[in-house]
Amino acid sequence: MPTSTAKIEEIVSREYQHGFYTPIEEETVPAGLNEDIVRLISAKKNEPQWLTEWRLKAYRHWLTMREPTWQNVRYQPIDYDAIHYYSAPKMKKQPKSLDEVDPELLRTYEKLGIPLREQELLAGVAVDAVFDSVSVATTFKEKLAEHGVIFCSFSEAVQNYPELVRRYLGTVVPYSDNFFAALNSAVFSDGSFCFVPKGVRCPMELSTYFRINAAKTGQFERTLIVAEEGAYVSYLEGCTAPMRDENQLHAAVVELIALEGAEIKYSTVQNWYPGDKEGRGGIYNFVTKRGICLGRRSKISWTQVETGSAITWKYPSVILRGDESVGEFYSVALTNHYQQADTGTKMIHLGRGTRSTILSKAISAGHGQNSYRGLVKVMRGAERARNYTQCDSLLIGDRCGAHTFPYMEVRNSSAIVEHEATTSKISEEQLFYCQSRGISLEDAVSMIVSGFCRQVFQELPMEFAVEAHKLMGVSLEGAIG
Amino acid sequence: MTMAKQPILEIRNLHVSVNHTPILRGIDLVIHHGEVHAIMGPNGSGKSTLCYVLAGREGYTITEGQVLYDGKNLLAMSPEERAQAGLFLAFQYPVEIPGVGNMYFLRTALNAIRKHRGLEPIDAMDFLQLVREKAKLVGIDERLLKRSVNEGFSGGEKKRNEVLQMAILEPTLAILDETDSGLDIDALRIVADGVNALRNDQHAVLAITHYQRLLEYLVPDYVHVLIGGQIVCSGGPELAAELERRGYAELGSQVTAVVQ
Amino acid sequence: MSVRGRAIPTPDSMSASGFIPPLQGFGSYENAFGQLSQSVPAWLQQLRAAALDTFRQLGFPSQRLEDWKYTDTTPIAREVFQLPRRPPATEPRAELWEPWVFSGGAAMVFFQGWPLPLQPVAPPLPDEVSLLSLQDALAKEEALVRGLLGTSAPLNEQSFTALNTALLDEGAWVRLAPGARLATPIQLLFVGGSVEHPTILCPRNFIVLGDGAEATVIECWIGESSVPFLTNGITEVVLGEEAHLTHVRILAEREAMLHMGLTAVRQSRGSTFRSQVITFPGQWTRVEIHTRLEAPAATALLDGLFVANGSSFVDHHTTIDHAQGATTSRQLYKGVLNGASHGVFNGKVFVRPGALKSDAQQMNKNLLLSDDAEIDTKPQLEIFADDVKCSHGAAIGQLDEEALFYLRSRGVAAGDARHMLIYGFANEIVERVPWENARRRLRAALQERLATAPPEDPA
């Protein structure tokens, strides 16, 4: 093995930086799942009857389902009875302002680089922070309200805007959609809700930070974003968790709805704890994300940077129902050590003149296994539908794997669907060139990997792009050998 | 004969946009049978747009003006009707068509045009002979003819293939879209010879070029300078030499000054 | 619970579930097994029996299996098949098959899987070449047959392979001794159809090239039938070091012809397997090629084309297994679908751990000519080594607008230009077949299936 390759692997293994645990008093329901637990969660949230019923229907349906096995990842069976389905920081009452939030919690977010207090540092970004299962703080609410934008925790939305929630919840991802979506529908505890009314361009980026803290809990949040006619919103989510030896399940559902002429841009920087170098611990990130372009000329764009989690398994998708609607998926997925990822997207073309673009960059290092799986489906009525897909894989070291599984199903003769994929290793020539110009090997690798991901990073809002670049450097540490 | 008075091509105040961006902004040009016109201009001046509009490619919006070909409305004709009526565009970047044999392609084209002229389809043996003769003239290796259309041809071979097609189809108006670009001096001479062989009082040529080089071999009757989608000046062959000496920039600024 | 790497999947790893039994039960298959000639060596009879057991355990693959996601085996599973009579009750009409004997070299013609006692007018083959029926090969070269049978297409959890092995009786045996070189193609012609009952046929062919041998083998599978006629054929190919095989597989079937075909190849160091698969399907067709590049410098060059009309189903499957490094593969597969036909392409490229400097390229292009037609395509890369060059591409779409304009600007009417481009799209694969007589026959078939004006080539 050339020395540079050995070095490259060495560089790619630094410790996870967000692995601390916050000692805070939490209220946790007993482990295991049954109808009583579902009712208990619903009662704790003071939910209306219809929502309790909906959860129970989801739970009963879940009981009839089997955990899927088709994905290209391997993991020990999950014991669903060992999981605590609800855990929340103990608070006397729902905080009215940041002053009422437990200072320990605020410190946690500051440690993560998300100072909820020092809003000027995040100028122009409204933040909703979700700690274990509940939302602890949402900033900039008033300013957003001036524009008619609703941005709050899901629980608050259920209390304050029950009609909106009822109209849209489960319309994109029904509770029966898949095993993990059914589980989420039964036990989801919080998440973010965003509603941008007709003609409004949301004046700032909206952001949610998810944090798993308690041990042996699952995190099941639910996000619902609705953009009415001509509205625009850019939404970001970030995720971290403490280092633990056991695996923790994160099964979220995200639903996006874009009406005529609306645009939703959804960006994720996922940095859940990936497990240690030996593959112990880490988050199972089994998430259902789907948007629907309901109206003409609407647009949904997913951008994801997936560097964390022991297993990442998600396919942020777009149903292109409105004529001339647009779906986009930009993804960087990095697997190092024993991480596994099976991720991609589904673009379902129903409307005329619908267009979709898929750009996936997968990096495998260590023993990481990285699969792109994507479906492009053009239904019969989708005249002149267009798709372009590009999937590139980069391998660092000879013990990792890169896999590409594109599915193209076309039933319209005027459609054009194109797919291109390449797999290569980090080029010795490029490394040498950088080094001969005085750049350290570590910087060279990071530079080349960042270059490889550039097209995707460009799609991220500025603050996240910077963070994503940093994350790539950190996540790759120890991969260079 | 009054026929000779009728121009083969008459462009009147032609305005063309691509995706709402105006590219041609009022072109006037009249070409008679037997004339050779050259249009010169810098990159981005609208030269290729003009060629494609004349040949009938989609994607161009005519916002104003008209084009008469042999007295008929050219813009209302399909690309194949234009070709059958004797208009020929030598492409700047000829398209590769895998799986379609060069000979088959040429014969289909020739027969379509012959049919339009009221002639019988050409006999296979006569066709073979015709192609061999013309191929020799433009210096094309016969083996290239057995391949698919333009597939795997070098840049120069593609350009010669365009000239070969022109020689066989004998157009009334041949439009050369930068046929000289990327050619070495020998190839250039062959292309020019091919065009010159076509030159008589029945045929006309419109040569679009960036450089004056081609015009040394293909002496035009008229030279027009296209800048910013407009013909800024016209003259005889001497204009080409002057351009070569002074460059478009100087001429452009001079013209802009005049316009202002 | 910790996650420690994972098992590396094998190309043919299948989960135990995902199979469906024959809808009318296994009885007809057991009957067919009982009717087979017992005058074969005991080891073969045992192998057949073991294969029948495997098939009885599996049944037919269902669409729950990833490899069969787009392929519905119900049209096969619902039939009650019989074996054809031995020898066949009738003779095939000469005008049906004679046009397909075109190489001028040695040929074997099988009717309903039974070798016809024709003496092809061809120069005799040199001594170092065996061209025999499988039964003759068992009589003359039994040890060789025994040593090779099932090595390229192992009896595993592939149900169609199990079924073929269970009902194996005849086929072609082509063997070239080391260094033997044939300038003229050998033709293997399989004529199916002309039966009164739903019929199943399980031919097994062998193409074995010793070190340094070179040959072209053209397989043609033709036939038409008003009752279901299933060919479940396997060709096992073994290539010695520096052996070069060109294998052309033409399928021109119609009506109720059902066809499951597998070409399974093992390649030694420096060998080349050049394959053209051209399929004009009947009711239901799946053609698979599996090749294992077992040693460095082995090369697989695979081209494919299907042209489907009516309500045909056609599926081209490839698996290229870069088991060793410094191996090369190239694939260009195309499909043209008209009417209410349904086409599938699934191309898998594996690069095994340590198979460094593997170089794999795959391209799949499809034309849909009707809104009632459907194409499902799934190019697939599974890479377990870092120093590799792998790429794949797939395109489904319309004709090239640039090319269409180019043709029209030369005076060709829009409709003709379209036909010309469709023909050209398909013909690109035909032109790769390295034998002019075969190309000529294929061009005619192409024109017929595309129903375009015959583009004769004056050159």
Percent of chain B whose pLDDT exceeds 70: 94
Residues of B in contact with C422 (CB under 8 A): none
Q: Give the pairing of strands C60-61 and C19-20.
A: antiparallel
A306, C21, C80, C202, C277 from C56: Cα distances, Å? 45, 8, 15, 16, 31
Cβ contact A340–C392 (<8 Å): no
Query: Residue B250 pLDDT > 80, yes or no?
Result: no
Dist. CA B159–CA B139, nearest whole Å: 11
The model's pLDDT over A210-224, given as tens digits with 9 standing for 90+, comes to 766 666 677 888 999
Query: What's residue B242's pLDDT?
Result: 83
For C356, name the nearest residue in chain A, comparing CA atoms only: A398
Query: What's residue C292's pLDDT?
Result: 97
Token code pair at residue C74? 């119900």
The average pLDDT across B63-82 equals: 93
Q: Which of C1, C7, C379 sits opposite A406 (nearest CB)?
A: C379
Query: Residue C14 pLDDT > 80, yes or no?
Result: no
Query: What's residue A45's pLDDT?
Result: 87
Cβ contact C5–A367 (<8 Å): yes
Query: What's residue A23's pLDDT?
Result: 65
Are C412 and B112 in contact by the 8 Å Cβ rule? The answer is yes
Cβ contact B127–C428 (<8 Å): no
Residues of A in contact with C377 (CB under 8 A): 407-408
The average pLDDT across A297-302 equals: 97
Burial class (CB in 10 A: 0-12, 13-18, 19+), B141: exposed
What backbone torsions phi and psi does residue A257 show, to the nearest 5 degrees? -130, 120
Query: Residue A81 pLDDT > 60, yes or no?
Result: yes
On whether any CB of chain A is under 8 Å from the CB of C7, the answer is yes
Closest CA to A208 of A232, A230, A224, A227: A224
Query: Residue A94 pLDDT > 60, yes or no?
Result: no
Instruction: Compute the nearest-CA separation of C46 from chain B (Å).
Output: 50
Query: What's residue B90's pLDDT?
Result: 92
Judged by average pLDDT, the poorest of B213-222, C43-52, C161-170, C316-325 is B213-222
Q: Using CB atoms and an 8 Å cut-off, which of residues 159-178 of chain B contact chain C?
A: 165, 169
Closest CA to A275 of A195, A337, A344: A337
Query: What's residue A345's pLDDT?
Result: 96
Query: Residue C459 pLDDT > 50, yes or no?
Result: no
Residues of C in contact with A395 (CB under 8 A): 383, 385-386, 388
For C402, name the nearest residue in chain B, comparing CA atoms only: B95
Percent of chain A whose pLDDT exceeds 70: 78
Query: Residue A369 pLDDT > 50, yes or no?
Result: yes
Instruction: Give per-residue burial for C12-43: e unless 16+ CB within 10 Å, then b.
Output: eebeeebbbebeeeeebbeebbeebeeebeee
Q: Which of C420, C425, C426 sits opposite B108 (nearest CB)?
A: C420
The model's pLDDT over C283-327, given as tens digits with 9 standing for 90+, comes to 999 999 999 999 999 999 999 999 999 999 999 999 999 999 999
Instruction: Compute the nearest-CA separation of B145 from chain C (Å).
Output: 8
Residues of B in contact with C403 (CB under 8 A): 95-97
Percent of chain C whose pLDDT exceeds 70: 93
> Coil, helix or strand for A173?
coil
For B81, name the nearest residue in chain C, comparing CA atoms only: C411
Query: What's residue A86's pLDDT?
Result: 81
Q: Do chains C and A have 3 or more beta-carbon pairs under 8 angstroms?
A: yes
Cβ contact C376–A409 (<8 Å): yes
Find the farthest-apart pair of alpha carbons in chain C and give their distance in angstroms, rounded: 71
Judged by average pLDDT, the poorest of A442-446, B103-107, C91-95 is A442-446
The model's pLDDT over A9-48, given as tens digits with 9 standing for 90+, comes to 554 555 566 666 666 666 777 888 899 999 999 998 899 9
User: Which residues face C292 on adjacent strands?
Assistant: C266, C321
Query: Residue A481 pLDDT > 70, yes or no?
Result: no
The model's pLDDT over A415-428, given as tens digits with 9 standing for 90+, comes to 999 999 999 888 77
Q: Which of A73, A408, A425 sits opposite C377 (nearest CB)?
A: A408
Burial class (CB in 10 A: 0-12, 13-18, 19+), C342: buried
Q: Which of C6, C377, C381 sits opposite A369 (nearest CB)?
A: C6
Query: Residue B2 pLDDT > 50, yes or no?
Result: no
Query: What's residue A122's pLDDT?
Result: 44
Query: What's residue B58's pLDDT?
Result: 85
Residues of A in contact with C390 (CB under 8 A): 422-424
The average pLDDT across B145-163 equals: 87
Q: Using CB atoms and an 8 Å cut-off, which of residues 331-360 of chain A contact chain C?
A: 338, 340
The model's pLDDT over A337-348, given as tens digits with 9 standing for 90+, comes to 888 889 999 999
Q: Using CB atoms and an 8 Å cut-off, which of residues 50-69 of chain C contact chain A?
A: 66
Neighbouring CB atoms inside 10 A of C124's CB total 7
- Give residue A455's pLDDT band: very low, low, confident or very high (50, 70, 90): confident
Q: What subunits make at least 3 CB pairs under 8 angstroms with B?
A: C
Query: Residue B133 pLDDT > 80, yes or no?
Result: yes
Are B52 and B208 in contact by the 8 Å Cβ rule? The answer is no
For B54, name the nearest residue in chain C, comparing CA atoms only: C409
The model's pLDDT over C195-234, given as tens digits with 9 standing for 90+, comes to 999 999 999 999 999 999 999 999 999 999 999 999 999 9
Q: How far is CA A309 from the centre of its chain?
A: 11
- Give residue A125's pLDDT band: very low, low, confident or very high (50, 70, 90): low
Cβ contact C405–B57 (<8 Å): yes
The average pLDDT across C428-457 equals: 82
Judged by average pLDDT, the poorest of A48-52, A61-65, A323-327, C447-451 is C447-451
The average pLDDT across C172-198 equals: 94
Q: What subunits make at least 3 CB pairs under 8 angstroms with C?
A: A, B
- Give residue B216's pLDDT band: very low, low, confident or very high (50, 70, 90): confident
Q: Do chains A and B have 3 or more beta-carbon pairs under 8 angstroms?
A: no
For C389, name the nearest residue in chain A, comparing CA atoms only: A424
Neighbouring CB atoms inside 10 A of B168's CB total 20
Query: What strands lie across the sheet with B222-227, from one edge to the other?
Result: B87-90, B173-177, B204-209, B36-40, B222-227, B230-235
Dist. CA B122–CA B124, nearest whole Å: 6
Judged by average pLDDT, the poorest of C2-6, C86-90, C325-329 is C2-6
On whether any CB of chain B is under 8 Å from the CB of C405, the answer is yes
Q: Which of C3, C368, C393 sits opposite A279 (nearest CB)?
A: C3
Query: Residue A180 pLDDT > 60, yes or no?
Result: yes
Query: Residue A106 pLDDT > 70, yes or no?
Result: no
User: Which residues face C306 on adjacent strands?
Assistant: C279, C335
Residues of B in contact with C459 (CB under 8 A): 101-104, 128, 145-146
On whether any CB of chain C is under 8 Å from the CB of B132, the answer is no
- Give residue A93's pLDDT band: very low, low, confident or very high (50, 70, 90): low
Instruction: Find the radius of gyration of the CA atoms of chain C.
Output: 22
Query: Residue C413 pLDDT > 50, yes or no?
Result: yes
User: Which residues face A344 on adjacent strands?
Assistant: A373
Query: Residue C458 pLDDT > 50, yes or no?
Result: no
The average pLDDT across C244-261 equals: 96
Cβ contact A418–C394 (<8 Å): yes
The average pLDDT across A236-240 equals: 77
Average pLDDT, chain C: 90
Token code pair at residue A402? 């890169």
The average pLDDT across B4-10 equals: 83
Average pLDDT, chain A: 83
- Give residue C11's pLDDT band: very low, low, confident or very high (50, 70, 90): very low
Query: What's residue A133's pLDDT?
Result: 56
